[in-house]
Copies of this chain bind each other. A is one copy, B any other.
Amino acid sequence: MGSDLFRDPAQPLSVRTDDLLSRLTLREKVGQLNQRLPSWRLWSRAGDSFAFAPEFDDEIARWGGLGAINSIHRADAWSGRHWGNGVGPAESAELVAAAQERIVAGSRFGIPALVPEEAGHGHQALGSRLLPMHIAAAATWRPDLLEEAAAETAAEVRARGANLVQAPGLDLLRDPRWGRSEETFGEDPLLASEFTRALVRGLSSQPGLGVQLKHFAAQGAGLGGRNGTGAPIGRRELAEIHLPAARAGVEAGAASFMAAYNDIDGVPCIADEWLLTRLLRDEWGFDGVVMADMFAIDRLTRYLPDQIEAARLALRAGVDLSNCDEAYTAIEAGVEAGRIPEEWVDRACRRVLSLKIRLGLLDPPAPLPEFRPASPALDLVTAGPVLLQNDGVLPLAPGSRLAVVGPNGDDVAALLGDYVPPLRPGEGTSVLAGLRARYADVTFEAGCDLRAPVEGGLDRAAALAAAADVTVLVVGSSSARSYDDDFAENGAAAVGPRRAHATSGEGYDLADVKLPAAQRELAERVAATGTPVVAVVVSGRPLGIGRLAELCSAVLYAWYPGPEGGQATAALLSGEREPTGRLPVSLPRSSGTLPVAYNQRLETVARYIDAEASPLFPFGAGCGYATFALGAANVTGRYPDVGVTAELANRSDRSGTTVVQLYGRATGQAVVPRQGVLLGHAHVTLAAGAAAPVTVAVSPLALPGLGSPQSGELELWLSLDGPGRPAEPLRVPLGPSA
């Protein structure tokens, strides 16, 4: 074994990798680039152990090993795995070990597989802890809370035997019609960068566990909010809005990127050599593995002559690892036919092997940590909901008689979002349950379904509302899949004439983002009783809630807060916790006014003839129970190490927390400035009546969003409620003369 350089941890990574690579046949190398089988379909229980489908062994034998086996723990409606037939925390590691054992045994050099697992907001596996959807996490404006929670997720995932954890974060929310809005960190590149960095740091805190970020790149710019549509955007829009989070991910140590389905100005990401090689690797210095999204390489054959050509383009671009495609199995034939240079295979295989070695897969096995269930991330969960308006009805008075009304009022599944496993029976707290834990007199009536009336529902809801002190109207969306739903081959909803319960999530794109008519009617009816209405909007995407806001005394936008969402909501409505969430995305008035992202470039028109062009609530909006005011602001430092200081005063008679936001705009160049760019932010807590100076620095992560200007002036201003620019912002010179 002295000659097995690749197994010697004392050798440099490159030496180990090259040694291993040099021993592999073409077929073995191609095998390392493939993960053709959806892993959750491959196993079944066999007494106390696990049995594997024959095709699994065939696949291993075919390639003399395997590159990766994806999502073996996956449990959800699409995989069909649940508590009755899935794998729980106690057995997970054993399942993975059993699979790896077969792979290692089938490989001449004993190379295990990468084991990637979905963990966008908690591991998508039975019994792991769920976190709020990314959009809810972003609404906290507290990446530190996500980093902490993600570290606990990493411990769970690692304990269950995975070595690569997949999470979204790179997609910007530019069109709320998109069903995957909930998987994003919102519309702002700074927030997306900060949260992506936090996610990578937290998830990669476990030895032996790498992080794969998705999707690279610009999937959020898809036309019409239609899933996976092309993004005909320019390089500047790409660089300023869609790339900063990815770059922050590289710098935070992401081990892998998933190439996106969409094209950018015509070139599919999966075949984009500029994107995957020249930018990501050559310019940014990324040295990990690029994996395809599911079946994305096969999709190229819609307009390429054969699988070899699809594989050739993807391999040339820099895709190292396939994801269920047939096309990458054609690489061997492509090399033999002289159509694909073997050096390209070597390049990709080297990266896969290098990652495996870095993750310790070729080292003597170390014991996995024991699975310990993570505790609910209550600070994170509670910090996400955004209080958009409040006429004083909140906090709810102790002893209030409450009528909880609305289709999401007693629905735990609606709190969770997409990419979730089934909960344990009885797990999770609905809004109703959360309020009942705090208030003695709480009635409930759904009143309607998400998109349809319910016989007698309006009357029953109105009756309860009329008899209550306050109505808590819980409306919005749900991404809860049914085990009876139809799915596309990649797990997205296959939306057909048959309407599923869900109204959001992958595949659930929406033409009209207004709150559905059935829910609007419910709001009208309960408001008409005269009882004050507090709206709680449970939704993964921005909805058009203009009429709702007119009707209601208070609106709390709760996003998808996760299974503890009911507790958190109740803690916020009761005043036990201060609402500190702020919008990570602009809320539009209607689909017809899209796009409304605050960081578009300057425009000269303010309205349509039938609507204001502005959002209903801007990015950054949100309030708490204390009220704050900012004094005169001053610049500190010089660009780019620049900040703004001002006196912040708590003008209320209660202690509270607010989010001080620093915005800017680069002027003086032949480029139209964006209306505003978030440059930094700070949570500040002050006692009743207290005041203190606050400094918010320009974050280096925000500079790409400004276009990394080299000359001109930077306008700066502080705000407590979004990007509105004062008549006289502060000004700082940019560039060399600064």
Contacts and interface: CB of A to CB of B under 8 A. Distances in A.
B226 A608 contact: yes
A268 to B, nearest CB: 6
B233 A268 contact: no
A62 interface: no
Nearest to A231: B234
Residue of A226, A230, A313, A671 most packed against chain B (CB within 10 A): A226
A672 B230 contact: yes
A366 interface: no
A275 B692 CA distance: 51
State the copy count for this chain.
Answer: 2
Contacts of A443: none
B303 A667 contact: yes
A302 interface: yes
Given A236-B265, A266-B236, A266-B237, A230 B603 contact: yes
Interface in A600-623: 600-605, 607-611, 613
A177 B594 CA distance: 11
A309 B266 CA distance: 36
Contact of A236 (B177, B226, B232): B232
B667 A304 contact: yes
A224 B224 CA distance: 11
A712 to B, nearest CB: 8
Interface stretch (A18-26, A130-138, A155-163, A506-514): A506-514
Contacts of A230: 600-601, 603, 672
A605 B237 CA distance: 25
Given A234-B233, A265-B233, A223 B595 contact: yes
Contacts of A713: 305
Given A511-B592, A609-B499, A609-B503, A603 B237 contact: no
Interface in A663-721: 665, 667-673, 707, 713
Interface in A455-513: 493, 495, 499, 503, 507-513
A628 interface: no
Interface string A577-599: 00000000000011111111000
A108 interface: no
A444 interface: no
6 residue pairs, one from A and one from B, having the closest CB atoms:
A234-B265, A511-B592, A591-B592, A511-B611, A232-B237, A511-B608
26 contacts: A177-B608, A179-B609, A225-B608, A226-B603, A226-B608, A229-B605, A230-B603, A230-B672, A234-B235, A234-B266, A236-B267, A240-B266, A261-B604, A263-B601, A266-B601, A268-B670, A303-B667, A304-B667, A313-B670, A509-B608, A511-B589, A511-B590, A511-B592, A511-B613, A512-B611, A592-B592
Given A237-B266, A267-B672, A493-B609, 19 more contacts: A223-B600, A226-B608, A228-B603, A233-B233, A237-B265, A266-B601, A266-B707, A302-B602, A303-B602, A303-B667, A303-B668, A317-B670, A495-B605, A503-B609, A508-B609, A510-B609, A513-B592, A591-B591, A592-B592
